[in-house]
Amino acid sequence: MKKKSLNVKKISHNNFVLKYLNNKETLKIFKEFKKSIDIKNKYAVAISGGTDSIALAYMCKCLSEIYNTKFKYYLIDHKLRQESTNEAFKVLQILKKLKIDCKILTWRGKKPRSNIQSIARNKRYDLLTKECKKNKISYLLLGHHIDDVYENFLLRILRGSGLKGLVSMDKLTESNFNNIKLIRPLIDIKKSQLKKISQSVFKFHVEDPSNLNEKFKRIRMRKLIKTLEAEGLDKNKLKLTIQNLRASNDAINFYTKKNIYQNSFFFKDKNTFFINKFFFAQPSEIVFRSFGEILKKVGKKYYTSRGKSISAGIKRIKSDNFKKMTLGGCVIQKISETVTVFPERS
């Protein structure tokens, strides 16, 4: 297929999708978005109806028009509010304005009464990645933006997170959650910029009432950031701090992978790791991350176990009288100087 030019002056006004790229700011964001996408691959796109995911849907549609890149669009109906199903169908109708076909994935079954946002997030990823697996899609696009990065960073500080937690929201996440890679192509874009795009193209977005509910810590943090901005919070310096921390995190990740590769063996057929004594002789942060990654892979979890649990588990393993324990859906057993990690049977 002949590639169409991204030069704004050459975009045809007759193409009702690409015509919005005549806006210089929108075109600039599209070019930034495109850097994260290999046009030969097939992608799933997570749609919520909010400004970020609606803008993401538009960017994907433009890319499919220009390069014929394949995208599948999915929207989760959590069924946590009575209006959610009607809102989901309304989003589908709006997307059809640009001939975007979106499938609704419904969260069925009993809903939680506490820790709602965290459980709903995990269920959302579960539904999305299973659909990806079903359709042989290896990449899931998410609409997170730079404001989400700041929010997540400060939330993690309040929780006392380590380096990995502070920079956990990255452009590409190598996930063991159904082996689907998560890509955030708009991670460096401001929410206000994405809102302009969604309003310009669709003149629509869904505003989740929970975004105003201060019983959720994330919403309180969102309001705190606005207060800090009024007090002179320099977001550029905050962004630079996160970038510097991310570089340090990358270095630790390198040695974490090296430790797993050199000092453990994965028996794929049995989903079992065999760990030698040198594995636990590395610097504490390397051991902590390596062991956490092994638990996540064997236990088939999206997130690693809680830091306190992993640290306590490592301490027990290093003790002279350790024999066996369970952690993160795994059984950890020590025979002589070898530690085995295998799935806990239900």
If one counts every other C-beta atom within 10 angstroms of the C-beta of residue 155, the result is 18
Q: Is the pLDDT of residue 2 over 50?
A: no
Please check the confidence at residue 331 and state whether its pLDDT lies above 60. yes
In total, how many domains does the chain have?
Answer: 2
The two three-digit tokens of residue 10, written as one number:
């050459």
pLDDT at position 8 is 46
Q: Is the pTM for the entire model greater than 0.75?
A: yes
Q: Is residue 13 part of a domain?
A: yes
Q: Do 15 and 93 have their domain in common?
A: yes
For residue 328, pLDDT beyond 50 = yes
Residues 221, 295 within the same domain = no
Q: What is the token pair recorded at 274? A: 């065999």
> Which whole number is the average pLDDT over 26-36?
96
**pLDDT, position 46:** 97
Phi, psi of 105, rounded to the nearest 5 degrees = -110, 125
Give the mean pLDDT of 319-345.
Answer: 94
| Residue 147 to residue 40: CA distance in whole angstroms | 30
Residue 123 to residue 121: CA distance in whole angstroms: 5
Q: Indicate whether 147 and 293 sit together in one domain.
A: no
Give residue for tokens 């959610």. Answer: 84
Q: Is residue 241 situated within a structural domain?
A: no
Same domain flag for 205 and 317: no
CA–CA gap between residue 132 and residue 181 (Å, rounded): 10
The candidate with the shortest Cα–Cα distance to 299, out of 274, 338, 280, 272, is: 272
The stretch 121-137 carries a mean pLDDT of 92
> Please, which residues bridge with residue 341 across strands?
273, 332
Q: Which residue type, as a one-letter code, is found at position 258?
A: K
For 52, residues 6+ apart whose C-beta sits below 8 A from its C-beta are 143, 144, 145, 148, 186, 191, 194
pLDDT at position 13 is 43
Q: Which single residue is written with the structure tokens 């057993």?
A: 333
Query: Rounded to whole angstroms, how far apart are CA atoms 57 and 97?
Result: 12
Mean pLDDT, range 183-204, rounded to an integer: 93
Domain identity same for 177 and 260: no
Q: Is 16 helix (H, G, I), strand (E, B) or coil?
A: coil
- How high is the mean pLDDT of the chain? 88
Whole-number Å distance between alpha carbons of 55 and 268: 40
Greatest distance between any 2 Cα atoms in the chain = 75
| Residue 228: inside a domain | yes
Higher-confidence position of 218 and 271? 271
- Give the pLDDT confidence score for residue 156 in this predicted structure: 87
Asked if 148 and 154 count as a contact pair (C-beta separation under 8 A), the reply is no
In the structure, what pLDDT confidence band is assigned to residue 179 with cuts at 50, 70 and 90?
A: confident
Residue 170 pLDDT grade (very low, low, confident, very high; cuts 50, 70, 90)? confident
Condensed to tens digits (0 to 9), the pLDDT of residues 130-147 reads 999 999 999 999 999 999
CA distances from 223 to 140, 148, 167, 260 (A): 29, 13, 21, 41
pLDDT tens digit sequence for 62-94: 999 999 999 999 999 998 888 889 999 999 999
Residue 247 to residues 96, 156, 197: CA-CA distances in angstroms?
41, 18, 31
Q: Are residues 289 and 337 in the same domain?
A: yes
Whole-number pLDDT of residue 213: 56
Range of the domain at 263: 256-343
Tokens of 252: 């630790």
On the question of pLDDT at 9 being above 50, the answer is no
**Could you give the dihedral angle defined by the CA atoms of residues 103, 104, 105 and 110, in that order, rounded to the nearest 10 degrees?**
-170
The residue from 200, 218, 233 where one domain ends is: 233
Residue 32 has pLDDT above 70, yes or no: yes
210 and 299 both lie in a single domain: no
Could you report the per-residue pLDDT of 194-247, keeping only the tens digit for each?
999 999 999 876 766 555 556 677 778 888 888 887 888 788 888 899 999 999
- Looking at residue 74, its pLDDT comes to 98
Residue 103: pLDDT above 90? yes
314 within domain boundaries: yes
